[in-house]
Chain A
């Protein structure tokens, strides 16, 4: 079964809600770090682990550092 963009969005948004870091107006292009969502290195590791746990693989483990939800969704579209 393939991973849809909606699956990825649900996983990421649920994670950000749990962290209480879901910004107003969050969308697929919102930067995940610094002035966007503001994920730190440990939170990024958590997101990486969660994506692998729930979706079977994760883009961070390939050595890439996706900058937005859209880039994470693009990874799963190509898997």
Chain B
């Protein structure tokens, strides 16, 4: 498999960092962004074995200009985008009746609008080359819901809809679009769930554990494998059987 140009949003920590690590391991060129740099990103940038294979751009994707600037920099650097993984997202938990306007805006602006901004910019590049693959990192709460996660669940359901629409829109141009509905992972994005809630989820999960970033990364590698052009418009549930 030839070296791909992979864009992973929100790759500075947690699941995003796991995705970046996976694509670096598969030998690809990986560009990522987040609002600020983290020790993980600094380590990749300083690693001589990864020289020239990692690009980091500070960006707040809820701002259209930042999203466009990030994609433009990747194209200037590497000339194209083969794979886009929309991972950047934020969760705010709480009863919706007590939510502030700011909390709603924060979730919607990054999870939906930010994803649309980046995808618009990248899909134009893919259209010009008539090839590419897009994976949206969704969540099982977009399908099943979860108490206290109304805005976040709504944003992930929106990503599933966007996935199906874009798959239809871009399929004739050789571009696949899929989503991964992730189960509950043991990362900092466990959405404010406390240990008791997490243990309850584990008890209800057939595989008997929480997910790891690697579980999602392997599914992502499958969906972005250039041989898998017949898989598009699907939301792959990777949740240890929790919602099966």
Contacts A45-B124, A49-B124, A50-B128 supplied; 18 other A-B pairs, CB < 8 Å: A42-B127, A42-B169, A42-B172, A42-B173, A45-B127, A46-B127, A46-B128, A46-B130, A46-B173, A48-B124, A49-B125, A49-B127, A49-B128, A50-B127, A52-B124, A52-B128, A53-B125, A53-B128
In the complex formed, the residue of B with least CB distance to A58 is B124
In the complex formed, the residue of B with least CB distance to A61 is B124
Q: Which residues of the other chain, B, contact A45 by a CB distance below 8 angstroms?
A: 124, 127
In the complex formed, the residue of A with least CB distance to B126 is A49
Q: Is the interface of B mostly helix, strand, loop or mixed?
A: helix
Q: Which of chain A's residues 29-68 have a Cβ closer than 8 Å to chain B?
A: 42, 45-46, 48-50, 52-53
- Which A residues are closer than 8 A to B by beta carbons? 42, 45-46, 48-50, 52-53
- Which B residues are closer than 8 A to A by beta carbons? 124-125, 127-128, 130, 169, 172-173
Q: Is the interface of A mostly helix, strand, loop or mixed?
A: helix
Q: Which residues of the other chain, A, contact B128 by a CB distance below 8 angstroms?
A: 46, 49-50, 52-53
Q: Which residues of the other chain, A, contact B125 by a CB distance below 8 angstroms?
A: 49, 53
Q: Which residues of the other chain, B, contact A46 by a CB distance below 8 angstroms?
A: 127-128, 130, 173
| Shortest CB distance B232–A (Å) | 15
5 tightest A-B CB contacts, nearest first = A49-B124, A49-B128, A53-B128, A49-B127, A50-B128
| Shortest CB distance A14–B (Å) | 12
Q: What are 17 inter-chain pairs, A to B, with CB distance below 8 A?
A: A42-B127, A42-B169, A42-B173, A45-B124, A46-B127, A46-B128, A46-B130, A48-B124, A49-B124, A49-B125, A49-B127, A49-B128, A50-B127, A50-B128, A52-B124, A52-B128, A53-B128
| Shortest CB distance B15–A (Å) | 30
Q: Which residues of the other chain, B, contact A49 by a CB distance below 8 angstroms?
A: 124-125, 127-128
Which of the listed residues A49, A50, A52 has the most CB atoms from chain B within 10 Å of its own CB? A49
| Shortest CB distance B204–A (Å) | 43
In the complex formed, the residue of A with least CB distance to B124 is A49
Rounded to whole angstroms, the CA-CA distance of A42 and B126 in the bound complex is 12
In the complex formed, the residue of A with least CB distance to B170 is A42
Q: Which residues of the other chain, B, contact A52 by a CB distance below 8 angstroms?
A: 124, 128
In the complex formed, the residue of B with least CB distance to A41 is B169
| Shortest CB distance B227–A (Å) | 25
Q: Which residues of the other chain, B, contact A50 by a CB distance below 8 angstroms?
A: 127-128
